[in-house]
Amino acid sequence: MKKTILETQIFDDALELSEQEKKALLSAVLSQDLLEVENIEGDQASSILYFDNGIFVGKVNKFAHYHPELALQYLANTHDEQTTILYIPDRLQLAVPLVVQSLIPADAGGNVVVIVGAGARVTLYDTLFLSISLIPSVTRSMVYHVGTDAQVTVVSDQMLDESIDETTTETFYCSARSNVQYTMIVTGGKVVNRSLAMQLQGEHASATVRGLYALHQNQCVTLTTRQEHQAPDTVSSLAIKGALSGIAQAVYEGTIVVGLPATRSEATQHNKNILLSESARARSIPNLEVLTNDVHCAHGSAVGQLDADQLFYARSRGMTDNQAKRLLLQGFFTDVLTDIDNQDAVALVQARVLEKLVEVDDHV
């Protein structure tokens, strides 16, 4: 079957993935019937894509031309004309994921604004798989406007070459009764700085954040999160886990803010780290700002090693030391990958993480 426009961009721009990786992580784009282009303008076909189901992909000025009211509502403070806009119209429900990174070249970074209409349901893969050092750094800004009653799942998967620095800022603005499920995976990059903010602006909005980072050698990750409750009856849950070997370093700082109007809100935040070497370092800084009553908030952090008793038991059952470590690490990360429906993708992530952290026994 002829490749669709987005599939061509994904496979031609993305980085020499194996056929299995393409199938598991990138081929789950919009189905063919959703990719019948109604209007393409500009010197290049990728400058604007307007599909017959209402999905729009293009720059700010083109979006303002077709959707002036939405541009005024969401883009009044967007001054970068090169920002890419992805618009999912009201009540549209996509059965398979859309790969956000196919909208911009993998080595270009850039700014993306995603607007999800009221009642829409969509899964987005934000993938960074630059496997060779073409550029020294990647800087990106991702902004999501999630409409009333919308449901959005985002999988942010980063596997950059370990000579590349990354800076990514992600902000979600969540309207009433919207639901966001966000999963972050970081295994690549040399110096990585990531910032994630969940702004729960409407009543009964909810957000679930799950994530992991797996670091070795001299990798360094700084991760900052903010769960801000601005309306009553909002719910947020965050759990991020990390494992580090070599002389890798990780710093996590998470803040929960419950504003004065946000009564009856619930917020939890947990960060756990496992150190696999004496020289690896992890620091966790939880913060809590509660400005109202009748709320439920909890936060916690932990830094430690793999459980010695569990390792001993696994070895007593015939496992080598490395096999035991891989088994325990797989169990450690399992719960932060539960929101990814594609089990092939989960298996690939787990294999990637374990390969980075623990050597495979040659005789096994």
Q: What is the pLDDT of residues 191-225, one digit of tens each?
A: 999 999 999 999 999 999 999 999 999 999 999 99
| The pLDDT of residue 131 | 66
Please state the domain extents for the chain.
5-306, 307-364
Residue with tokens 């992580």: 25
**Cα–Cα distances in Å, from 327 out to 184, 322, 350, 359?**
21, 9, 11, 12
- CB neighbours (10 Å) of residue 331? 10
Cβ 175 vs Cβ 148: under 8 Å: yes
| The pLDDT of residue 77 | 82
| The pLDDT of residue 106 | 46
Backbone angles phi, psi at 227, to 5 degrees: -110, 105
| The pLDDT of residue 101 | 67
Name residues whose C-beta falls within 8 Å of residue 217's C-beta, 6 or more positions apart in sequence.
162, 245, 246, 247, 248
| The pLDDT of residue 144 | 97
d(CA 80, CA 59): 9
Longest dimension (CA), the chain: 68
d(CA 249, CA 244): 7
What type of residue sits at position 1? M
Backbone angles phi, psi at 315, to 5 degrees: -65, -35
Strands (E), 52-205: 56-59, 84-88, 98-99, 110-116, 121-128, 137-146, 151-158, 165-174, 179-186, 191-200
**Sites in the chain below the pLDDT cut of 70:** 1-47, 101-109, 131-133, 360-364
Nearest to 238, CA basis, from 319, 170, 335: 335
217 CB burial (10 A radius; 0-12, 13-18, 19+): exposed
The tokens for 303 are 């830094």
What type of residue sits at position 26? L
| The pLDDT of residue 182 | 98
| The pLDDT of residue 360 | 63
CA angle 62, 63, 65 (to 5 degrees): 65
What is the pTM assigned to this prediction? 0.86
